[in-house]
Amino acid sequence: MIRTRYHETDSKRGVSSTFLWFMEEVGELAEAFAKRERGDGDDENLREEFADVMAWLATLANITDVNLTEAIHEKYLTDGGPEGTK
């Protein structure tokens, strides 16, 4: 869905600028965690920030021609996944 709806615009923005947007969303997620730790968090906002981070990660994968589904499957589901606990 992200690729279908946003790929043309995302591709024009480029990897560097898109990565900066992604990092901004990671910062907003960190802020939502901090608010939660202080006791004034908003669960709806936390969910929204998780969604934003995932959307921008998918965007980065799309514009760098990485199939995120395949990458996750290969890393974490093939042959029992990586050693250790994630």
CA distances from 1 to 11, 14, 29, 71 (A): 15, 19, 22, 18
* Burial of 80 (C-beta count, 10 Å sphere; 0-12/13-18/19+): exposed
Show pLDDT as tens, one digit a residue, over the chain (86 residues): 999 998 999 999 999 999 999 999 999 999 999 999 999 989 999 999 999 999 999 999 999 999 999 999 999 998 776 776 65
- What range defines the domain where residue 24 resides? 2-80
Q: Which pLDDT does position 86 carry in this prediction?
A: 54
Total domain count, the chain: 1
CATH code for the domain in which residue 21 is found: 1.10.287.1080
Report if residue 32 sits inside a domain: yes
Report if residue 43 sits inside a domain: yes
Q: Which pLDDT does position 78 carry in this prediction?
A: 86
Report if residue 23 sits inside a domain: yes
What is the pTM for the complete model shown? 0.85
CA dist., res. 82 & res. 72, Å (int): 11
CA dist., res. 64 & res. 56, Å (int): 12
SS3 66: coil
